[in-house]
């Protein structure tokens, strides 16, 4: 069985939710924070980041969007066939969320990688929060335009990743009350059984 490597609080929650939604035969190995920099894991993913998926033959797939595409293609059945308009929009959304939105959380999680000294780090964090607010407003528009329930109008892995991003708002000065559809989406995700299972597997709590 393949193994999905996760760590509490991280974006690896999105593929973990996908595994739960599809009841996919994939083992979730939730590492303690810090284990991602140890030799044993660096031998699996030299980038020292989660998620990673290790197959029985030793092959490894990294990058959340690629792992989500694999889970959908391999375990989703006809309902997750993605050679459709929804599939293309899902790929677009996941690419945006993983590369643009996640990247703009960089200064929040690791300000020292972006600037030296406390004042400069506070300045890059303030800029990052502006950009994160812009991303939330953009995603609010997409969600509202698609009916307000699922990010793309139908359930997709974009909802799993969006939940990762809306959880992180709690750690920032950006308030989701300015984006009510995103706030409702987060509450709906937290009421979902598969999300609950994934949170427990990753030693995480709903943010409420």
- Site residues (vs ligand GSH, CB under 6 A): 10-11, 36, 48-51, 63-64, 98
d(CA 23, CA 125): 38
Query: Under a CB-based contact definition with an 8 Å cutoff, are residues 178 and 168 in contact?
Result: no
Helices (H), 151-192: 157-168, 180-190
Query: Under a CB-based contact definition with an 8 Å cutoff, are residues 183 and 165 in contact?
Result: no
Q: How many CB atoms lie within 10 A of CB 74?
A: 14
Give the residue with the Cβ less far from ligand GSH, 26 or 50: 50
Give the residue with the Cβ less far from ligand GSH, 11 or 169: 11
Pairing of the two strands 3-6 and 52-54? antiparallel
Taking the complex as a whole, the smallest distance from the CB of residue 98 to ligand GSH amounts, in Å, to 4
Length of the chain: 208
Taking the complex as a whole, the smallest distance from the CB of residue 119 to ligand GSH amounts, in Å, to 24
Site of tokens 């009421």: 191
Using Cβ positions, the residue closest to ligand GSH within the complex turns out to be 49
Give the residue with the Cβ less far from ligand GSH, 12 or 179: 12
Taking the complex as a whole, the smallest distance from the CB of residue 100 to ligand GSH amounts, in Å, to 11
Taking the complex as a whole, the smallest distance from the CB of residue 48 to ligand GSH amounts, in Å, to 6
Give the residue with the Cβ less far from ligand GSH, 36 or 89: 36
Pairing of the two strands 27-30 and 3-6? parallel
Give the residue with the Cβ less far from ligand GSH, 112 or 120: 112
Please report, for the chain, how many H helices and E strands are present, in that order.
10, 4
Taking the complex as a whole, the smallest distance from the CB of residue 121 to ligand GSH amounts, in Å, to 16
């Amino acid at each position: 069985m393949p193994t999905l490597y996760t760590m509490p609080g991280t974006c690896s929650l999105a593929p973990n939710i996908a595994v739960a939604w599809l009841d996919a035969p994939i083992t979730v190995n939730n590492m303690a924070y810090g284990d991602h920099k140890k030799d044993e894991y660096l031998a699996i993913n030299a980038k020292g980041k989660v998620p990673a998926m290790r197959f029985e033959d030793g092959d490894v797939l990294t990058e959340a969007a690629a792992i989500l595409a694999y889970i959908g293609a391999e375990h989703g059945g006809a309902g997750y066939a993605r050679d459709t308009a929804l599939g293309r929009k899902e790929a677009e959304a996941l690419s945006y969320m993983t590369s643009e939105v996640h990247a703009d959380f960089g200064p929040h999680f690791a300000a020292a990688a972006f600037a030296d000294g406390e004042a400069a780090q506070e300045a890059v964090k303030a800029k990052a929060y502006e950009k994160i607010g812009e991303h939330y407003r953009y995603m609010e528009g997409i969600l509202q335009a698609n009916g307000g329930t699922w990010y793309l109008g139908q359930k997709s892995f974009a909802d799993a990743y969006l939940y990762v991003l809306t959880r992180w708002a709690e750690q920032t000065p950006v308030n989701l009350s300015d984006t009510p559809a995103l706030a409702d989406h987060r509450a709906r995700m937290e009421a979902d059984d598969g999300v609950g299972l994934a949170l427990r597997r990753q030693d995480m709590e709903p943010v409420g």
